[in-house]
Amino acid sequence: MISIMRAAMISLRRDRGALAMSFILPIAFFSIFAIIFAGRRDVTPKITVIVVDEDRSRASERLIQGLEREGSLAVKTRPEPKRGAPQPGYTATTAEAAVKGGTVPVALIVPHGFGENPISFGGGGNRAAIQLLKDRSDMVAWQMLAGLLQKVAMTSMPDVMAEQGAKYVDQYVGGYTPEQRSRLDASLDHFRREEAERSAAAGGEVGATTTGFADGGMISVATRDVIGENKDSPMVSFYAAAIGVMFLLFTSSRASGSLLDEAENGTLDRVLSSRVTMLALLGGKLVFNMILAFSQLVLMFLWGWAVFKLEFFPHIPGFVVMGVSTAFAVGAFGMLLASVCQTRNQLGALSTLVILIMSSVGGSMFPRFLMPEAMQKAGLLTINAWAIDGFTKVFWRDEPLWRLWPQVAVLLATGAVLFAIARKLAQRWEYV
Protein backbone atom coordinates (compact mmCIF):
# COMPACT_ATOMS: atom_id res chain seq x y z
CA MET A 1 0.00 0.00 0.00
CA ILE A 2 2.80 2.38 0.92
CA SER A 3 4.53 1.56 -2.36
CA ILE A 4 1.36 2.44 -4.28
CA MET A 5 1.06 5.70 -2.36
CA ARG A 6 4.72 6.53 -2.98
CA ALA A 7 4.39 5.92 -6.72
CA ALA A 8 1.28 8.12 -6.81
CA MET A 9 3.10 10.87 -4.90
CA ILE A 10 6.04 10.81 -7.32
CA SER A 11 3.69 10.90 -10.31
CA LEU A 12 1.79 13.85 -8.88
CA ARG A 13 4.98 15.72 -8.04
CA ARG A 14 6.19 15.37 -11.63
CA ASP A 15 2.85 16.29 -13.19
CA ARG A 16 2.87 20.05 -12.91
CA GLY A 17 -0.54 20.35 -14.48
CA ALA A 18 -2.13 18.07 -11.92
CA LEU A 19 -0.31 19.92 -9.14
CA ALA A 20 -1.62 23.26 -10.37
CA MET A 21 -5.14 21.87 -10.63
CA SER A 22 -4.90 20.39 -7.15
CA PHE A 23 -3.54 23.39 -5.30
CA ILE A 24 -3.43 26.61 -7.30
CA LEU A 25 -6.90 26.47 -8.84
CA PRO A 26 -8.81 25.93 -5.57
CA ILE A 27 -6.88 28.72 -3.87
CA ALA A 28 -7.42 31.08 -6.80
CA PHE A 29 -11.13 30.34 -6.84
CA PHE A 30 -11.50 30.59 -3.10
CA SER A 31 -9.84 34.01 -3.21
CA ILE A 32 -12.03 35.28 -6.05
CA PHE A 33 -15.26 34.18 -4.39
CA ALA A 34 -14.10 35.45 -1.01
CA ILE A 35 -13.38 38.89 -2.44
CA ILE A 36 -16.73 39.04 -4.17
CA PHE A 37 -18.99 37.63 -1.51
CA ALA A 38 -17.23 37.91 1.84
CA GLY A 39 -18.37 41.51 2.18
CA ARG A 40 -15.08 43.10 3.07
CA ARG A 41 -16.00 46.76 3.46
CA ASP A 42 -12.97 48.09 1.67
CA VAL A 43 -13.84 46.18 -1.44
CA THR A 44 -17.64 46.37 -1.42
CA PRO A 45 -18.83 47.51 -4.85
CA LYS A 46 -20.09 51.07 -5.04
CA ILE A 47 -23.27 51.76 -6.91
CA THR A 48 -23.00 54.72 -9.20
CA VAL A 49 -26.21 56.72 -9.28
CA ILE A 50 -27.12 59.83 -11.23
CA VAL A 51 -29.20 62.26 -9.22
CA VAL A 52 -31.16 65.07 -10.82
CA ASP A 53 -32.54 67.69 -8.47
CA GLU A 54 -35.45 69.34 -10.21
CA ASP A 55 -36.90 70.56 -6.96
CA ARG A 56 -33.89 72.46 -5.63
CA SER A 57 -35.56 72.73 -2.23
CA ARG A 58 -33.91 72.49 1.13
CA ALA A 59 -35.35 68.99 1.56
CA SER A 60 -34.07 67.78 -1.80
CA GLU A 61 -30.61 69.22 -1.14
CA ARG A 62 -30.49 67.54 2.25
CA LEU A 63 -31.61 64.26 0.76
CA ILE A 64 -28.94 64.42 -1.92
CA GLN A 65 -26.29 65.39 0.61
CA GLY A 66 -27.34 62.38 2.65
CA LEU A 67 -27.02 60.13 -0.38
CA GLU A 68 -23.58 61.55 -1.12
CA ARG A 69 -22.45 60.62 2.37
CA GLU A 70 -23.39 56.98 1.81
CA GLY A 71 -20.18 55.03 1.36
CA SER A 72 -21.81 52.46 -0.90
CA LEU A 73 -23.06 55.07 -3.36
CA ALA A 74 -21.18 57.17 -5.88
CA VAL A 75 -23.50 60.06 -6.64
CA LYS A 76 -23.08 61.86 -9.96
CA THR A 77 -24.94 65.05 -10.71
CA ARG A 78 -23.11 65.90 -13.93
CA PRO A 79 -21.06 63.99 -16.53
CA GLU A 80 -17.28 63.84 -16.31
CA PRO A 81 -15.59 67.00 -17.65
CA LYS A 82 -14.67 66.80 -21.31
CA ARG A 83 -11.17 68.12 -22.13
CA GLY A 84 -11.18 69.86 -18.76
CA ALA A 85 -14.43 71.69 -19.45
CA PRO A 86 -17.16 71.06 -16.89
CA GLN A 87 -20.34 69.62 -18.32
CA PRO A 88 -23.85 70.85 -17.58
CA GLY A 89 -25.69 68.91 -14.90
CA TYR A 90 -27.83 65.92 -15.75
CA THR A 91 -31.46 66.44 -16.61
CA ALA A 92 -34.22 63.87 -16.40
CA THR A 93 -33.70 63.16 -20.11
CA THR A 94 -29.93 62.83 -20.04
CA ALA A 95 -30.10 60.77 -16.86
CA GLU A 96 -32.52 58.36 -18.51
CA ALA A 97 -30.25 58.15 -21.56
CA ALA A 98 -27.30 57.36 -19.29
CA VAL A 99 -29.17 54.45 -17.72
CA LYS A 100 -30.25 53.21 -21.12
CA GLY A 101 -26.70 53.43 -22.39
CA GLY A 102 -25.33 51.48 -19.45
CA THR A 103 -23.28 54.38 -18.03
CA VAL A 104 -25.03 53.85 -14.70
CA PRO A 105 -27.47 51.17 -13.54
CA VAL A 106 -29.81 53.58 -11.83
CA ALA A 107 -30.83 57.27 -11.66
CA LEU A 108 -32.94 59.33 -9.29
CA ILE A 109 -35.05 62.28 -10.37
CA VAL A 110 -36.18 64.45 -7.46
CA PRO A 111 -39.22 66.19 -8.95
CA HIS A 112 -40.62 69.67 -8.50
CA GLY A 113 -42.74 69.84 -5.38
CA PHE A 114 -40.82 67.19 -3.50
CA GLY A 115 -39.76 69.65 -0.80
CA GLU A 116 -43.29 70.72 -0.05
CA ASN A 117 -44.21 67.36 1.30
CA PRO A 118 -41.07 65.23 1.28
CA ILE A 119 -42.04 62.47 3.66
CA SER A 120 -45.12 60.90 5.05
CA PHE A 121 -45.87 57.99 7.26
CA GLY A 122 -47.88 55.22 5.74
CA GLY A 123 -47.14 56.01 2.13
CA GLY A 124 -49.46 57.25 -0.57
CA GLY A 125 -50.94 60.68 -0.18
CA ASN A 126 -50.28 63.59 -2.43
CA ARG A 127 -46.50 63.42 -2.31
CA ALA A 128 -44.40 64.18 -5.40
CA ALA A 129 -42.73 60.82 -5.90
CA ILE A 130 -39.03 60.55 -6.58
CA GLN A 131 -38.47 58.73 -9.84
CA LEU A 132 -36.07 55.83 -9.72
CA LEU A 133 -35.01 54.95 -13.25
CA LYS A 134 -33.41 51.54 -13.46
CA ASP A 135 -31.74 49.07 -15.73
CA ARG A 136 -33.20 45.83 -14.46
CA SER A 137 -30.31 43.76 -15.73
CA ASP A 138 -28.60 44.99 -12.56
CA MET A 139 -30.82 43.46 -9.94
CA VAL A 140 -28.86 44.80 -7.01
CA ALA A 141 -28.35 48.50 -7.67
CA TRP A 142 -31.93 49.75 -7.67
CA GLN A 143 -33.01 47.69 -4.68
CA MET A 144 -30.07 48.92 -2.68
CA LEU A 145 -30.72 52.49 -3.68
CA ALA A 146 -34.41 52.24 -2.83
CA GLY A 147 -33.53 51.08 0.66
CA LEU A 148 -30.86 53.69 1.13
CA LEU A 149 -33.28 56.43 0.12
CA GLN A 150 -35.54 55.57 3.02
CA LYS A 151 -32.60 55.28 5.37
CA VAL A 152 -31.20 58.63 4.30
CA ALA A 153 -34.58 60.20 4.86
CA MET A 154 -34.45 58.97 8.44
CA THR A 155 -30.87 59.92 9.18
CA SER A 156 -30.23 62.99 7.08
CA MET A 157 -33.43 64.94 7.53
CA PRO A 158 -34.40 64.75 11.21
CA ASP A 159 -35.62 68.33 11.14
CA VAL A 160 -37.75 67.65 8.06
CA MET A 161 -39.14 64.57 9.75
CA ALA A 162 -39.90 66.53 12.92
CA GLU A 163 -41.46 69.33 10.93
CA GLN A 164 -43.56 66.85 9.03
CA GLY A 165 -44.58 65.22 12.30
CA ALA A 166 -45.64 68.61 13.60
CA LYS A 167 -47.76 69.12 10.54
CA TYR A 168 -49.50 65.80 11.27
CA VAL A 169 -50.17 66.99 14.81
CA ASP A 170 -51.57 70.21 13.41
CA GLN A 171 -53.69 68.26 10.99
CA TYR A 172 -55.00 65.47 13.17
CA VAL A 173 -54.74 66.73 16.80
CA GLY A 174 -55.78 70.32 16.36
CA GLY A 175 -52.55 72.30 16.60
CA TYR A 176 -50.09 73.39 19.30
CA THR A 177 -50.32 75.98 22.02
CA PRO A 178 -48.01 79.03 21.48
CA GLU A 179 -45.67 77.69 24.14
CA GLN A 180 -45.52 74.25 22.47
CA ARG A 181 -44.98 75.88 19.10
CA SER A 182 -42.07 77.93 20.50
CA ARG A 183 -40.39 74.84 21.97
CA LEU A 184 -40.94 72.90 18.77
CA ASP A 185 -39.34 75.68 16.69
CA ALA A 186 -36.37 75.72 19.09
CA SER A 187 -35.96 71.96 18.70
CA LEU A 188 -36.21 72.17 14.93
CA ASP A 189 -33.52 74.87 14.97
CA HIS A 190 -31.37 72.54 17.02
CA PHE A 191 -31.86 69.71 14.49
CA ARG A 192 -30.98 72.03 11.64
CA ARG A 193 -27.79 73.27 13.38
CA GLU A 194 -26.74 69.69 14.04
CA GLU A 195 -27.39 68.76 10.43
CA ALA A 196 -25.43 71.79 9.21
CA GLU A 197 -22.48 70.81 11.38
CA ARG A 198 -22.63 67.27 10.12
CA SER A 199 -22.73 68.46 6.53
CA ALA A 200 -19.75 70.67 7.16
CA ALA A 201 -17.73 67.75 8.44
CA ALA A 202 -16.04 65.62 5.81
CA GLY A 203 -18.60 63.34 4.22
CA GLY A 204 -18.38 59.71 5.48
CA GLU A 205 -21.03 57.20 5.96
CA VAL A 206 -23.60 57.78 8.60
CA GLY A 207 -24.96 54.72 10.25
CA ALA A 208 -25.13 51.25 8.87
CA THR A 209 -26.71 50.31 5.57
CA THR A 210 -30.23 49.06 5.98
CA THR A 211 -32.50 47.46 3.53
CA GLY A 212 -35.26 49.75 2.40
CA PHE A 213 -38.98 49.71 2.25
CA ALA A 214 -39.33 51.01 -1.32
CA ASP A 215 -42.61 52.60 -2.25
CA GLY A 216 -44.30 52.01 1.04
CA GLY A 217 -41.65 54.03 2.94
CA MET A 218 -41.50 57.58 4.17
CA ILE A 219 -40.30 58.84 0.81
CA SER A 220 -42.49 58.05 -2.12
CA VAL A 221 -40.50 56.44 -4.88
CA ALA A 222 -41.82 55.57 -8.32
CA THR A 223 -39.62 52.95 -9.90
CA ARG A 224 -39.48 52.65 -13.67
CA ASP A 225 -37.57 50.35 -16.04
CA VAL A 226 -36.06 52.49 -18.72
CA ILE A 227 -34.52 49.58 -20.57
CA GLY A 228 -35.71 46.09 -21.33
CA GLU A 229 -39.19 46.97 -20.12
CA ASN A 230 -40.66 44.84 -22.91
CA LYS A 231 -38.22 41.99 -22.58
CA ASP A 232 -39.21 38.81 -20.84
CA SER A 233 -36.06 37.92 -19.02
CA PRO A 234 -33.26 40.38 -18.47
CA MET A 235 -30.62 37.78 -17.72
CA VAL A 236 -31.13 35.36 -20.59
CA SER A 237 -29.03 37.31 -23.09
CA PHE A 238 -26.44 37.96 -20.40
CA TYR A 239 -26.04 34.30 -19.56
CA ALA A 240 -26.18 33.19 -23.18
CA ALA A 241 -23.12 35.38 -23.77
CA ALA A 242 -21.48 34.75 -20.41
CA ILE A 243 -21.71 30.97 -20.42
CA GLY A 244 -21.20 30.88 -24.15
CA VAL A 245 -17.87 32.70 -24.02
CA MET A 246 -16.57 30.49 -21.22
CA PHE A 247 -17.31 27.33 -23.18
CA LEU A 248 -15.97 28.90 -26.35
CA LEU A 249 -12.67 29.35 -24.56
CA PHE A 250 -12.65 25.71 -23.50
CA THR A 251 -13.61 24.49 -26.95
CA SER A 252 -11.03 26.64 -28.64
CA SER A 253 -8.19 25.52 -26.41
CA ARG A 254 -9.22 21.90 -26.88
CA ALA A 255 -9.40 22.31 -30.65
CA SER A 256 -6.04 24.05 -30.71
CA GLY A 257 -4.60 21.03 -28.94
CA SER A 258 -4.63 19.29 -32.32
CA LEU A 259 -1.47 21.29 -32.96
CA LEU A 260 0.23 19.41 -30.12
CA ASP A 261 -1.14 16.07 -31.32
CA GLU A 262 0.18 16.72 -34.79
CA ALA A 263 3.55 17.79 -33.48
CA GLU A 264 3.72 14.58 -31.47
CA ASN A 265 2.64 12.15 -34.19
CA GLY A 266 4.67 13.79 -36.94
CA THR A 267 1.78 15.12 -39.02
CA LEU A 268 2.93 18.66 -38.37
CA ASP A 269 6.34 17.86 -39.86
CA ARG A 270 4.71 16.30 -42.88
CA VAL A 271 2.46 19.32 -43.39
CA LEU A 272 5.35 21.74 -43.02
CA SER A 273 7.37 19.80 -45.57
CA SER A 274 4.63 20.55 -48.12
CA ARG A 275 3.72 23.96 -49.54
CA VAL A 276 2.00 24.88 -46.30
CA THR A 277 3.86 27.42 -44.17
CA MET A 278 3.57 27.69 -40.40
CA LEU A 279 1.62 30.94 -40.78
CA ALA A 280 -0.84 29.27 -43.14
CA LEU A 281 -1.13 26.29 -40.83
CA LEU A 282 -1.84 28.42 -37.77
CA GLY A 283 -4.16 30.62 -39.81
CA GLY A 284 -6.11 27.58 -40.95
CA LYS A 285 -6.50 26.37 -37.41
CA LEU A 286 -7.51 29.84 -36.26
CA VAL A 287 -10.25 30.02 -38.89
CA PHE A 288 -11.42 26.56 -37.86
CA ASN A 289 -11.52 27.70 -34.23
CA MET A 290 -13.50 30.77 -35.24
CA ILE A 291 -16.05 28.77 -37.20
CA LEU A 292 -16.42 26.36 -34.31
CA ALA A 293 -16.81 29.18 -31.79
CA PHE A 294 -19.28 31.09 -33.94
CA SER A 295 -21.36 27.95 -34.49
CA GLN A 296 -21.46 27.38 -30.74
CA LEU A 297 -22.67 30.93 -30.19
CA VAL A 298 -25.37 30.55 -32.83
CA LEU A 299 -26.57 27.36 -31.19
CA MET A 300 -26.51 28.97 -27.75
CA PHE A 301 -28.53 32.00 -28.81
CA LEU A 302 -30.95 29.94 -30.90
CA TRP A 303 -31.58 27.80 -27.86
CA GLY A 304 -32.13 30.98 -25.87
CA TRP A 305 -34.63 32.12 -28.50
CA ALA A 306 -36.47 28.79 -28.66
CA VAL A 307 -36.64 28.06 -24.96
CA PHE A 308 -36.16 31.37 -23.12
CA LYS A 309 -37.78 33.83 -25.55
CA LEU A 310 -34.53 35.62 -26.29
CA GLU A 311 -35.03 38.16 -29.09
CA PHE A 312 -32.51 36.65 -31.46
CA PHE A 313 -33.68 37.47 -34.96
CA PRO A 314 -34.10 41.28 -34.58
CA HIS A 315 -30.50 41.41 -33.33
CA ILE A 316 -28.78 39.32 -35.98
CA PRO A 317 -26.48 42.09 -37.33
CA GLY A 318 -25.16 42.91 -33.86
CA PHE A 319 -24.89 39.24 -33.04
CA VAL A 320 -22.81 38.60 -36.15
CA VAL A 321 -20.47 41.52 -35.40
CA MET A 322 -19.98 40.49 -31.79
CA GLY A 323 -19.93 36.79 -32.63
CA VAL A 324 -17.16 37.13 -35.20
CA SER A 325 -15.10 39.44 -32.97
CA THR A 326 -15.49 37.13 -30.00
CA ALA A 327 -14.76 34.04 -32.09
CA PHE A 328 -11.56 35.67 -33.38
CA ALA A 329 -10.31 36.57 -29.91
CA VAL A 330 -11.27 33.20 -28.47
CA GLY A 331 -9.75 31.31 -31.40
CA ALA A 332 -6.46 33.16 -31.06
CA PHE A 333 -6.51 32.56 -27.31
CA GLY A 334 -6.72 28.82 -27.94
CA MET A 335 -3.85 28.98 -30.41
CA LEU A 336 -1.72 30.82 -27.87
CA LEU A 337 -2.37 28.28 -25.13
CA ALA A 338 -1.49 25.41 -27.47
CA SER A 339 1.70 27.16 -28.55
CA VAL A 340 2.78 27.70 -24.96
CA CYS A 341 2.26 24.07 -23.92
CA GLN A 342 4.41 21.07 -24.69
CA THR A 343 1.80 18.34 -24.25
CA ARG A 344 -1.95 17.81 -24.25
CA ASN A 345 -1.90 17.23 -20.51
CA GLN A 346 -0.20 20.55 -19.93
CA LEU A 347 -2.71 22.25 -22.18
CA GLY A 348 -5.62 20.66 -20.31
CA ALA A 349 -4.34 21.85 -16.95
CA LEU A 350 -3.30 25.32 -18.06
CA SER A 351 -6.47 26.01 -20.01
CA THR A 352 -8.70 24.92 -17.13
CA LEU A 353 -6.79 27.13 -14.74
CA VAL A 354 -6.69 30.21 -16.94
CA ILE A 355 -10.20 29.92 -18.37
CA LEU A 356 -11.92 29.38 -15.03
CA ILE A 357 -10.11 32.36 -13.51
CA MET A 358 -10.82 34.52 -16.56
CA SER A 359 -14.45 33.47 -16.51
CA SER A 360 -14.97 34.24 -12.86
CA VAL A 361 -13.23 37.62 -12.98
CA GLY A 362 -14.61 38.45 -16.42
CA GLY A 363 -18.23 37.96 -15.46
CA SER A 364 -19.09 34.58 -16.99
CA MET A 365 -20.03 33.06 -13.65
CA PHE A 366 -21.72 36.03 -12.00
CA PRO A 367 -22.34 39.57 -13.22
CA ARG A 368 -19.45 41.94 -12.79
CA PHE A 369 -21.63 44.54 -11.08
CA LEU A 370 -21.60 42.26 -8.05
CA MET A 371 -17.84 42.55 -7.83
CA PRO A 372 -15.70 45.11 -6.04
CA GLU A 373 -14.60 47.99 -8.21
CA ALA A 374 -11.01 46.81 -8.48
CA MET A 375 -12.13 43.39 -9.62
CA GLN A 376 -14.52 44.91 -12.12
CA LYS A 377 -11.55 46.75 -13.58
CA ALA A 378 -9.44 43.59 -13.54
CA GLY A 379 -12.24 41.93 -15.45
CA LEU A 380 -11.53 44.23 -18.35
CA LEU A 381 -8.33 42.29 -18.89
CA THR A 382 -10.39 39.28 -19.94
CA ILE A 383 -12.02 38.39 -23.23
CA ASN A 384 -15.14 37.40 -21.30
CA ALA A 385 -15.86 40.89 -20.01
CA TRP A 386 -15.60 42.61 -23.39
CA ALA A 387 -17.61 39.94 -25.16
CA ILE A 388 -20.36 40.01 -22.51
CA ASP A 389 -20.49 43.81 -22.58
CA GLY A 390 -20.83 43.75 -26.35
CA PHE A 391 -23.58 41.14 -26.40
CA THR A 392 -25.38 43.02 -23.62
CA LYS A 393 -25.28 46.17 -25.74
CA VAL A 394 -26.81 44.25 -28.63
CA PHE A 395 -29.44 42.18 -26.89
CA TRP A 396 -30.29 44.21 -23.80
CA ARG A 397 -29.64 47.81 -24.68
CA ASP A 398 -30.64 47.56 -28.34
CA GLU A 399 -27.73 49.81 -29.20
CA PRO A 400 -26.84 50.54 -32.82
CA LEU A 401 -23.93 48.67 -34.41
CA TRP A 402 -21.54 51.59 -34.29
CA ARG A 403 -21.79 51.72 -30.52
CA LEU A 404 -20.13 48.32 -30.39
CA TRP A 405 -16.82 49.72 -31.57
CA PRO A 406 -14.99 49.66 -28.21
CA GLN A 407 -15.80 45.98 -27.64
CA VAL A 408 -15.11 45.02 -31.25
CA ALA A 409 -11.84 46.95 -31.29
CA VAL A 410 -10.61 45.40 -28.06
CA LEU A 411 -11.58 41.87 -29.07
CA LEU A 412 -10.02 42.15 -32.52
CA ALA A 413 -6.85 43.74 -31.15
CA THR A 414 -6.63 41.09 -28.44
CA GLY A 415 -7.06 38.36 -31.01
CA ALA A 416 -4.38 39.86 -33.24
CA VAL A 417 -1.88 40.19 -30.40
CA LEU A 418 -2.54 36.67 -29.08
CA PHE A 419 -2.21 35.20 -32.56
CA ALA A 420 1.04 37.08 -33.17
CA ILE A 421 2.48 35.69 -29.93
CA ALA A 422 1.27 32.19 -30.84
CA ARG A 423 2.98 32.53 -34.23
CA LYS A 424 6.21 33.55 -32.55
CA LEU A 425 6.08 30.65 -30.10
CA ALA A 426 5.30 28.21 -32.89
CA GLN A 427 8.78 28.81 -34.27
CA ARG A 428 9.95 26.00 -32.01
CA TRP A 429 8.26 23.57 -34.41
CA GLU A 430 9.66 25.31 -37.43
CA TYR A 431 13.33 25.65 -36.72
CA VAL A 432 14.74 22.47 -35.22
Partner 1 sequence: MASAVPVPSSLPLRIDGLIKRFGSVVAVDGVTLELPSGECLGLLGPNGAGKSTLIRGIVGRVIPDAGKVSVFGSAADSAKAREALGWVPQELALYSRLTSRENLESFGRYHGLAGSALRQAVRWCLDWAALLDRADEPVKNLSGGMKRRLNMAAGLIHQPKVVLMDEPTVGVDPQSRNRIFEMIEQLHGAGMSIIYTTHYMEEAERLCDRIAIMDHGRVIALGAKEELIRNTFASRSQVLARFADPVDRVAAWVEQRGGILVGAGAQFTVEHPTEIAGLLDAGAKAGLELVDISLRRPNLESVFLHLTGRELRD
Distance of CA 173 to the CA centre of its chain: 51
CA dist 34 and 217 (Å) reads 33
Q: Which stretch binds partner 1 (CB under 8 A): 1-9, 82-90, 271-279, 394-402?
A: 271-279
Task: Give the torsion sign (CA, 64, 68, 69, 74).
Answer: positive
| Total number of residues that touch partner 1 (CB under 8 A) | 13
Rounded to a whole number of angstroms, the minimum distance from the CB of residue 426 to partner 1 is: 14
The smaller minimum CB distance to partner 1, of residues 272 and 340, is found at 272
Separation between Cα atoms, residue 293 and residue 332, nearest integer Å: 11
In the complex with partner 1, which residue's Cβ is closer, 154 or 278?
Answer: 278
Q: Nearest-CA neighbor of 120 among 70, 80, 85, 172?
A: 172
Q: How far is the CB of 267 from partner 1 (least distance, A)?
A: 5
Phi/psi for 38 (5° steps) reads: -75, -10
Measured in degrees and rounded to the nearest 5, phi and psi for residue 32 equal -65, -45
**Nearest in space to 105 (alpha carbons), one of 147, 61, 47:** 47
Q: Smallest distance, Å, CB 277 to partner 1?
A: 10
Query: For residues 108 and 221, what is the distance between their CA atoms, to the nearest angstrom?
Result: 9
State which of residues 126, 177, 230, 274 lies at the interface with partner 1 (CB under 8 A): 274
Of the pair 211, 267, the CB lying nearest partner 1 is at 267
* Residues 413-432 close enough to bind partner 1 by CB under 8 A: 431-432
Q: Is 2 in the site for partner 1 (CB under 8 A)?
A: no
* Distance of alpha carbon 221 from alpha carbon 192, whole angstroms: 25
End-to-end CA distance of the chain: 44
Q: Is 265 in the site for partner 1 (CB under 8 A)?
A: yes
Among 188, 276, 340, 357, binds partner 1 (CB under 8 A): 276
Task: Please report how close the Cβ of residue 252 comes to partner 1 at its closest, in angstroms.
Answer: 19
Which residue of 18, 28, 272, 302 would you call a contact of partner 1, by CB under 8 A? 272
Q: Is 93 in the site for partner 1 (CB under 8 A)?
A: no
| Alpha carbons 422 and 183: distance in angstroms, whole number | 80
Q: Using CB under 8 A, which of the segments 146-154, 234-242, 272-280, 413-421 binds partner 1?
A: 272-280
- Quick one: which of 2, 81, 275, 402 contacts partner 1 (CB under 8 A)? 275
CB of 374 to partner 1, least distance (A): 46
CB of 251 to partner 1, least distance (A): 17
222 φ, ψ (degrees, to nearest 5): -105, 115
Q: What are phi and psi of 208, to 5 degrees?
A: -90, 155
Q: In this chain, which of 185, 194, 269, 373 binds partner 1, going by CB under 8 A?
A: 269
Strand extents, DSSP E, 146-266:
221-227
Q: Which is nearer to partner 1, 41 or 275 (CB)?
A: 275
Stretch that binds partner 1, among 51-59, 158-166, 267-275, 381-389 (CB under 8 A): 267-275
Q: Which of 304, 301, 263, 305 is nearest to 285 (CA)?
A: 263
Residue 263 Cβ, how far from partner 1 at the closest point, in Å? 11
For partner 1, the binding residues (CB under 8 A) are: 265-267, 269-276, 431-432
